[in-house]
Chains A and B, each alone.
Chain A
Amino acid sequence: MTGLWVLVVALIVATGLGLWYQRVNGRIREAGVQDPQATRSSGLPQASDDDPPASIEADAPSAQAVALSEALDGRLGDRATMVQFSSAFCQPCRATRRILEEVSAMVPGVNHVELDAEENLDLVRELDIRRTPTVLFLDARGEIRKHASGQPRKADVIAALGDLMPDSGTPDFEI
């Protein structure tokens, strides 16, 4: 009976997919260095704490930061910004919005901006956003430092912001 075998294989595949989805969904990852011209060949370098990416110190904002700043339209947070891409057919977008709103209300200088992916399709293509919700974590300069696709956990969001703003007391860029 072929159908029975196909059923068994389909259930195994679905279980594998589901377990993989549970592992990666909402996990906050380091974003690569943002200047595509400079770092295209080197893949996705990890931005670690003790070795800040060169583009953060450097002069000109990346193309991605420029494209984002248009969509943000002055809503960039003083210390960090969480940009959430949402769409109409998105179940976890509402829960994600609630988590990010709570965190942005709790941490001064951090903004939460929700963008409709369909109304910003050019930006979505430029940043290669594939799912909703996708959350980008921007530093004070508007550069993408971390990203998560799927609903992130609140504790992970707070930890990610902590990484973004190491000197939480007195941000060095204000002196």
Chain B
Amino acid sequence: MSKMEPHVNAPVRPRPKVDPRGPRFGAAVTTVVLALALVLVGSTLGTVLIAWQTLVFALGALVGLQAQPYGWLFRVLVRPRLSPPAELEDAAPPRFAQAVGLVFAVVALVAALAGATVVATIAIAFALIAAFLNAVFAFCLGCEMYLMLARLRRS
């Protein structure tokens, strides 16, 4: 039996941090954009909205959260009106969520451009559910899927 030794932590690597309210705000804007895209799916405006959201996800996932337009909106318009954040949060999970959103948005965009409205509708609906869960319940669907994906990948 071991002695009463202090608990041991996993090694902590330095990572970029974000105000946790930023990604939440972004998810709320994403929810509204995707809701409009869903109602307008099949029309030119619907496709433009999907293309815009695809670009937003791509910037957030590939460049970083600081390059994500809704994050920029939060920093410029919203954050100055709020009290400073209680604490900062690791940027990796919300960035991963952007990558998951990007996958659905690309499927929706390709389908919309190809005229496959049903596929586009389903893909947008999934992205909308994920964004809504993040905005309202602070539940990161992409992050939850991560371990199951890791288990599949290396089995």
Contact = CB atoms under 8 A, between A and B. Distances in A.
Is the pairing of A and B real? yes
Contacts, number: 127
B5 A75 contact: yes
A87 B150 contact: yes
Q: Which of A25, A88, A108, A131 has the most CB of B within 10 A?
A: A88
Interface string B7-19: 1111000000000
A90 B143 contact: yes
B35 to A, nearest CB: 6
Contact of B150 (A21, A112, A118): A118
Contact of B7 (A3, A113, A118, A129): A113
B143 A91 contact: yes
A115 interface: yes
Interface string B43-84: 000100000000000000000000000000000000000000
Nearest to A141: B1
Nearest to A109: B4
Given A78-B1, A101-B7, A2 B121 contact: yes
Contact size range, A: 35 or more
B38 interface: yes
A111 B5 contact: yes
Q: Which of A89, A108, A121 has the most CB of B within 10 A?
A: A89
Interface string A11-22: 101110110011
Interface of A: 1-4, 6-7, 9-11, 13-15, 17-18, 21-22, 25, 74-78, 86-91, 94, 97, 100-101, 104-105, 108-109, 111-118, 121, 124-125, 129-132, 140
15 contacts: A2-B41, A3-B39, A6-B125, A11-B35, A14-B132, A15-B132, A78-B3, A91-B20, A94-B89, A101-B9, A118-B150, A121-B151, A124-B151, A125-B155, A132-B146
Top 5 A-B pairs ranked by shortest CB distance?
Answer: A18-B137, A112-B7, A14-B132, A89-B96, A14-B129
Given A3-B38, A108-B4, 14 more contacts: A4-B38, A4-B39, A10-B125, A13-B129, A21-B137, A75-B5, A75-B7, A87-B146, A87-B150, A94-B90, A101-B7, A113-B7, A114-B9, A114-B10
